[in-house]
């Protein structure tokens, strides 16, 4: 089960929890299951997110595999200038 941490202002969509656990093989799978389990997150997921997987930030790379004890932090979609 990957540990997923969401940012505080999304907690209203997850019953007040920012530390979640999701069973997923890769990031794509994880985001899909996150949206299914917590439909209130779907608008943000559609707007775009980045993820940090075990400390490394991924802006795309949704097929990045997850280990059974991976820590995934959800982040807004990275922008730059």
Partner 1 sequence: MPLDNAESSTRKYKVVGTRPNRPDGVDKVTGRARFGADAVAPGQLVGLILRSPHAHAKIKSIDASKALKLAGVKAVVTKDDLPDKTDGDAGLYDVLVNVMAREKALYQGHAVAAVAATSAAIAKAALKLINVDYEILPHVTDVDEAMKPNAPLLYPKMITDGVDPKPKKPSNIVRRYEFGHGDVEAGFRQADIVIERSFKTEATHQGYIEPHACLANVGPDGQGELWVCTQGHFMVRDTCARLLGMDFSKLRVTASEIGGGFGGKTTVFIEPVALALSRKANRPVKVVMSREEVFKATGPTSSSSIDVKIGATKDGRIVAGDATLRYQGGAFAGSPVEFGAMTAFAQYDLDNVRAIGFDVVCNRPKQAAYRAPGAPMANFAVESVIEELAHKVGMEPIDFRIKNAAREGTHSSYGPIYGPIGLLPTLQKAREHPHFKAPLGKNQGRGMACGFWFNFGGQSCVSMNIGVDGTVSVTVGSPDIGGSRASMGLMTAEELGIPYEKVRTVIADTGTLGYNDVTDGSRTTFATGMACILAARDAIKKLCARAAQIWGIPEDAVTWENGHAKPAGANAGNHPPMSLKEIAAQAPSTGGPIAGHHEYSADGAGVSFATHICDSEVDPETGFTKILRYTVLQDAGKAVHPSYVEGQFQGGAVQGIGWALNEEYIYGKDGRLQNAGFLDYRIPVCSDLPMIDTVILEIPNPGHPYGVRGVGETSIVPPLAAVANSVSAAVGVRMTETPISPPKLLAALEKQSAMKKAAE
Tokens 């991976």: give the residue: 70
For 7, 8, 14, 57, the CA distances from 29, given in Å and listed in that order, are 20, 22, 18, 17
Site membership for partner 1, residue 73 (CB under 8 A): yes
Q: How far apart are CA 6 and CA 61, in angstroms?
A: 19
CB 16, min distance to partner 1, A: 9
Q: One symbol per residue from 33 to 72: x for binding partner 1 (CB under 8 A), - otherwise; what is it? A: ----------x---x--x-x--xxxxxxx--x------x-
Strand partners of residue 57? 52
Helix (H) or strand (E) holding 73: strand 71-76
Residues 2-21 that bind partner 1 (CB under 8 A): 5, 7-10, 12
CB 23, min distance to partner 1, A: 21
Note the residues at the interface with partner 1 (CB under 8 A): 5, 7-10, 12, 43, 47, 50, 52, 55-61, 64, 71, 73-76, 78-81
């Amino acid at each position: 089960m990957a540990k997923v941490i969401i940012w505080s202002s999304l907690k209203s969509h997850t019953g007040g929890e920012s530390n979640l656990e999701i069973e997923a093989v890769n990031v794509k799978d994880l985001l899909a299951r996150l949206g299914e389990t917590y439909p209130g997150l779907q608008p943000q997921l559609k707007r775009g997110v980045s993820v940090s997987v075990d400390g490394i930030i991924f802006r795309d790379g949704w097929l990045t595999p997850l280990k059974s004890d991976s820590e995934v932090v959800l982040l807004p979609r990275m922008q730059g200038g």
